Amino acid sequence: MNRVILIILDSVGIGAMPDAHHYGDEGSNTLLNIYRNIENFKLENLEKMGLTHIEGLEEIKRNTITPIASYGRLEEISPGKDTTTGHWEISGIVLDQAFPTYPDGFPDEILQTLQKETGRGIIGNKAASGTAIIEELGEEHVRTGNIIAYTSADSVFQIAAHESVVPLGELYDICKKAREILTGKHAVGRVIARPFVGEPGSFKRTENRKDFSLEPSGKTMLDYISEAGQDVVAIGKIEDIFVGRGITKTLHTKNNESGIEATLSEINRDSQGLIFTNLVDFDMLYGHRNNIEGYGNALQEFDSKLPEILAALKDEDLLMISADHGCDPSTESTDHSREYVPLLVYHKYIQPVNLENMKGFDVIAKTILDFLDVDNSVDNVSIKSILEIG
């Protein structure tokens, strides 16, 4: 029984795309700049798979190793650089138009409607770093009970609240109401609950974040696979991104460690279809906070688990490792970056191939559906034949 394990290293980009200057991201290269800024940095197992053979990491002179996997990088077709856009394209949906963004805050009518629906006042309403805005407005929020609304360069409406002031259940309900309001021309990609705890001067966001995404605008590889009677196991925030659609089993995880353990557990089970994992710590804890050291450590922690993942694979399993966008922690920006993403493809009987640069994250969807022998209308090429599995 063929099976695919797809692991998305959230925000692990590998070089600015040709149109990155339109997004203010020229010069961004998440992976390369981590290598540059951390002395003697290595990702031993990813490098064995071919990571440093990929264009974008040319200056990392580790290309004497013969890769055990096929390697290349993907260029996003859809406009944007956010989680929803990236994951949708990975799953086979290419957007013609970017989701709306609100660098100057959201219109009054949106906020007034949300206030009326929830009974809570709203403060903030601007583009800001999540950690900075709770530091700035957290004390006022605790004193008044008004929720903190903010955005970023991405298409997101984020609501921050202290867990002792707005219980998690209420915060999630507020976000659901916001999701219902933000439709039509204001249909942002995600509404995000951002709970925090602590005292003024030491507020800290918790792991109880929850995303409320738009429903995908077309059929995804998840739909095709589940409709064909095969398994689609969603690990991490995958269920949130796809609003549960096309998913047969969900495992919510709090961090990379639990995401990796859940992935290993599912690999060790008998199943047919897709195991789809998102590891979010790279982005959420380190990229947005410009924490180069933390980002590097998180990459090395994942790298250290790769031998266990590879050893667990069955003969018919295909492992694909990629990303959804960049979030270069070495730049002044705390937002995502418009970058190529790496693609590493491993099978026990693969002949390693340099896949070079390929157009469209949906190469992943087309290849997975081809490997699983599932009919589909994804408009890109499968690399199954190039991989020479056998």
Give residue 120's identity as a one-letter amino acid code: R
Break the chain into its structural domains and give their ranges: 3-95+214-387, 108-213
Superfamily of domain 108-213: Phosphopentomutase (3.30.70.1250)
- Look at residue 389 in the predicted model and tell me its pLDDT: 72
Please state, in angstroms and rounded to a whole number, the distance separating the CA atoms of residues 286 and 209.
Answer: 15
Helix (H) or strand (E) holding 126: strand 122-127
CA distances from 152 to 137, 147, 185, 261, 351 (A): 16, 17, 18, 31, 43
Tokens at residue 46, please?
């990813």
| 382 contacts 370 by C-beta, under 8 angstroms | yes
Please state, in angstroms and rounded to a whole number, the distance separating the CA atoms of residues 237 and 324.
Answer: 13
- Look at residue 390 in the predicted model and tell me its pLDDT: 58
Residue 76's region, left for phi above 0, alpha for psi from -120 to 50, else beta, is beta
For the beta carbon of residue 322, count every other beta carbon within 10 angstroms.
Answer: 23
- Look at residue 63 in the predicted model and tell me its pLDDT: 61
Please state, in angstroms and rounded to a whole number, the distance separating the CA atoms of residues 216 and 245.
Answer: 8
List all residues 6 or more positions away from 92 whose beta carbon is below 8 Å from its beta carbon: 218, 219, 220, 221, 224, 362, 365, 366, 369, 376, 378, 380
Q: What is the CATH number of domain 3-95+214-387?
A: 3.40.720.10
For the beta carbon of residue 76, count every other beta carbon within 10 angstroms.
Answer: 25
The pTM (predicted TM-score) of the whole model is 0.92
Please state, in angstroms and rounded to a whole number, the distance separating the CA atoms of residues 33 and 14.
Answer: 9
Q: What is the pLDDT along the chain (390 residues), one digit of tens a residue?
A: 899 999 999 999 999 999 999 999 999 999 999 999 999 999 999 999 999 999 999 889 776 678 999 999 999 999 999 999 999 999 999 999 999 999 999 999 999 999 999 999 999 999 999 999 999 999 999 999 999 999 998 899 999 999 999 999 999 999 999 999 999 999 999 999 999 999 999 999 998 999 999 999 999 999 999 999 999 999 999 999 999 999 999 999 999 999 999 999 999 999 999 999 999 999 999 999 999 999 999 999 999 999 999 999 999 999 999 999 999 999 999 999 999 999 999 999 988 999 999 999 999 999 999 999 999 999 999 999 998 775
Please state, in angstroms and rounded to a whole number, the distance separating the CA atoms of residues 360 and 36.
Answer: 28
Q: How many helices (H) and strands (E) does the chain have?
A: 13, 14
CA distances from 287 to 2, 74, 102, 196, 332 (A): 35, 20, 21, 19, 11
Please state, in angstroms and rounded to a whole number, the distance separating the CA atoms of residues 150 and 122.
Answer: 10
- Look at residue 61 in the predicted model and tell me its pLDDT: 74
Partnered with residue 7 across adjacent β-strands are 277, 321
Give residue 306's identity as a one-letter amino acid code: L
